Amino acid sequence: MPNPCKVAREFLAQWFGAEDTFALVLRHADPSRIRQRIVRLGDLFNSNYLGWLAHQNALGANVFFSVNSLLADAKKRTKNAIAEPRALYLDLDEDGDRKLHAIRASANVPPPSVVIRTSPGKFQVLWRVRGFSIPEQEAMLKTLAAAFGGDRACTDCARVLRLPGFFNRKYVPACPVTLESEGILSVYSREDFRLEMPSVTQADCLSLYVCRQPRAGTRSENDWSWVMAQLAAGVPADQVVRALVARRPDKPNPRYYALRTVDVASAVLWARKGISSEAIIQQLEARNQSLSGDRAAEIAATASRLVQRM
């Protein structure tokens, strides 16, 4: 079997960017020995952490990684800590060969970006995606699981999957976790999946992209209304951000909350005016230098869908 650290390193380098933060989880048979670490990819590669994972794997631990990247200041792997939906995925734990063949033959989904073989006849299938909100990601995960017979418990955005390169210690003898696909990872959008998924409401989208779990009448919903009114009145975005930071010192990261809210609200207002998604992405990137191209595209796509439902 190839060097586990080399396989894991090459996969993670393709899946995440150097500044991305994500979770690594070690699961032993004894639940009290489960360990989770939130790491930045660049820091991981500048240490011997993968070597330590290989050592723990040899001692019986199973190694997992979080599919979605986390916020830079995340302390836990929770829905509120997800930075962006990075993938759709299926856990084929029964009759995997037949189901994988059906996925590859289907005209309703694109070819998987990655297939991870976790043991004979069992696979984790991943599609790298952009432009999904977290509610949309979870709705599509449920749709995929129902359509192709995946594990319906594997449909939450904070999911961890087995990391290629190490051994699956669930079995005796242990099974190598191998990467079945090679080359550049394909990236897909919502339009590439021709499956009817449950409707996602405006409130569902705003719950993660603006309010981070709002409820009717909450301060976060009031913030959203206030920001929309300020921007519509022509108040400069940077001024609105500063004011919102001052309004919400109770937030774990007030500046991130303010930037995120103002970015999404701006994109919604631009989309209402008929501005194209490409132009919205350019305007977001020009105004917020810390915003990645993928994140800007995700916000623009979310704004477009929100406007269509308003």
Between 186 and 167, the higher pLDDT residue: 167
310, burial (CB in 10 Å: exposed 0-12, middle 13-18, buried 19+): exposed
| Each residue's pLDDT tens digit, 133-159 | 888 888 899 889 888 998 887 888 888
> What is the phi-psi region of residue 173: left when phi exceeds 0, alpha when psi lies from -120 to 50, beta otherwise?
beta
In terms of Cα–Cα distance, which of 119, 50, 38 is closest to 83? 38
Predicted structure pTM score: 0.65
Cis peptide before 173 (omega within 30 of 0): yes
Sequential DSSP letters for 35-76: EEEEEEHHHHHTTTHHHHHHHHHHTT-EEEEESSEE-TT--S
Query: Is a pLDDT exceeding 90 seen at residue 31?
Result: no
In terms of Cα–Cα distance, which of 78, 105, 103 is closest to 92? 103
Tokens (6 digits) for 306: 């929100």
| Each residue's pLDDT tens digit, 259-280 | 888 988 888 888 888 888 888 8
CB-facing half-sphere around the CA of 184: CA atoms within 13 A: 3
| Each residue's pLDDT tens digit, 242-255 | 888 888 888 777 88
C-alpha to C-alpha distance for 4 and 109, rounded to whole angstroms: 31
| Range with the poorest average pLDDT among 47-61, 114-128, 132-146, 195-209 | 195-209
Helices within 116-249 (DSSP H only): 134-148, 202-209, 219-232, 237-247
User: Model confidence at 258, in pLDDT bands (50, 70, 90)?
Assistant: confident
The pLDDT score that the predictor gives to residue 208 is: 42
Query: Is a pLDDT exceeding 70 seen at residue 209?
Result: no
User: Model confidence at 310, in pLDDT bands (50, 70, 90)?
Assistant: low
